[in-house]
């Protein structure tokens, strides 16, 4: 487990806001050197200025994590500047909703590109560096945290493309954990599964690339956007609290990181249905009024 942070290097994607920025703040407070990565230039620059003012050593780079070549270049620069990182937070993410058959190819490419391929590239680029550092130095310790979601453990309706991306991140990270355990005791992995936490993810369209344009939103997508914004904005757990849980998990060598443990009851119900061969359970069993509202809105045709 990684329990010493001062003088170590952290690579953080999605570092301009939300979980990424809060994790960067805590990493700086612990004396870590920071590699800040974000696709939104103004947010990245604000984060860089804030953390440099806090006396952190910062390398800030505007990178689209879905692009393999850009991530390769980032990895090469990090290795040249700092050597192998000790903490990699593959956190950049976007959200899109609507009935699953209504998502366009561009929607799928955008969401999977950031949420899944961004994690793939982070793992692909930085894990070999960390393993090489571990082999060269018995005292080296490293940890990788990938941001998934409770939507990676559940299948809430009207947000299928997002669910698919986050389920893939959970599977990727569980496999990464097992693969690392085969070859080293010096590098660990965790998966972050937040629920509704106030961040800017519900405004993800602000950073959608022009080569993956969005179509005119469907009724289900407009409804999903409104529900998502309401749920996210009303969240009581803060991004800063989640960031603190990330560091606690790293220090404890804990794999699963939850912002809302009470939501695990729904996960248990889903897994029991899988094991028992039952049909998927009602996702609105605990809040039937929400399900009734969504069904009425989608079936009204108004």
List residues with catalytic annotation: 162
Among candidate residues 92, 123, 106, 121, the one with its CA nearest the CA of residue 20: 92
Distances in whole angstroms, Cα of residue 94 to Cα of each of 18, 66, 109, 112, 209: 12, 11, 12, 9, 12
User: Is 242:150 a contact under the CB 8 Å cutoff?
Assistant: no
Residues in the chain: 302
CB-based burial of residue 184 (10 Å sphere; 0-12 exposed, 13-18 middle, 19+ buried)? middle
Backbone angles phi, psi at 127, to 5 degrees: -60, -45
Structure tokens at 4: 């010493």
Q: Coil, strand or helix: which one is 157?
A: coil
10-21: string of b/e by CB count within 10 Å (b at 16+)?
A: bbbbbbbbbbbb
To which H or E segment does residue 3 belong?
none
The helix (run of H) or strand (run of E) holding residue 141 is none
Give yes or no for a contact between 169 and 146, defined as CB atoms under 8 angstroms apart: yes
d(CA 51, CA 36): 10
């Amino acid at each position: 487990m990684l329990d010493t942070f001062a003088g170590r290097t952290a690579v953080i994607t999605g570092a301009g806001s939300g979980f990424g920025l809060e994790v960067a703040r805590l990493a700086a407070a612990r004396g870590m050197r920071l590699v800040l990565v974000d696709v939104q230039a103004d947010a990245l620059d604000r984060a860089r200025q804030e953390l440099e003012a806090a006396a952190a050593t910062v390398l800030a780079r505007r990178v689209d994590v879905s692009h393999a070549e850009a991530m390769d270049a980032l990895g090469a620069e990090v290795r040249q500047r700092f050597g192998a990182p000790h903490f990699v937070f593959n956190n950049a993410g976007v959200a899109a909703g609507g009935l699953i058959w209504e998502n366009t190819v561009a929607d799928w490419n955008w969401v999977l590109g950031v949420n899944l391929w961004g994690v793939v590239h982070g793992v692909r680029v930085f894990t070999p560096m960390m393993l090489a550092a571990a082999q060269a130095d018995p005292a080296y310790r490293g940890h990788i945290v990938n941001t998934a979601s409770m939507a990676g453990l559940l299948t809430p309706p009207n947000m299928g493309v997002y669910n698919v991306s986050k389920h893939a991140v959970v599977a990727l990270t569980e496999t990464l954990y097992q693969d690392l355990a085969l070859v080293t005791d010096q590098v660990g992995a965790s998966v972050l599964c937040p629920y509704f936490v106030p961040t800017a993810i519900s405004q993800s369209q602000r950073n959608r690339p022009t080569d993956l344009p969005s179509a005119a939103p469907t009724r289900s997508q407009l409804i999903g956007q409104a529900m998502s914004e309401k749920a996210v904005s009303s969240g009581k757990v803060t991004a800063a609290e989640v960031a603190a849980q990330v560091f606690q998990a790293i220090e404890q060598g804990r794999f699963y990181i939850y912002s809302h443990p009470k939501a695990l009851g729904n996960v248990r119900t889903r897994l029991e249905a899988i094991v028992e061969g039952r049909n998927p359970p009602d996702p609105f069993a605990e809040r039937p009024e929400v399900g009734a509202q969504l069904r009425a809105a989608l079936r009204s045709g108004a």
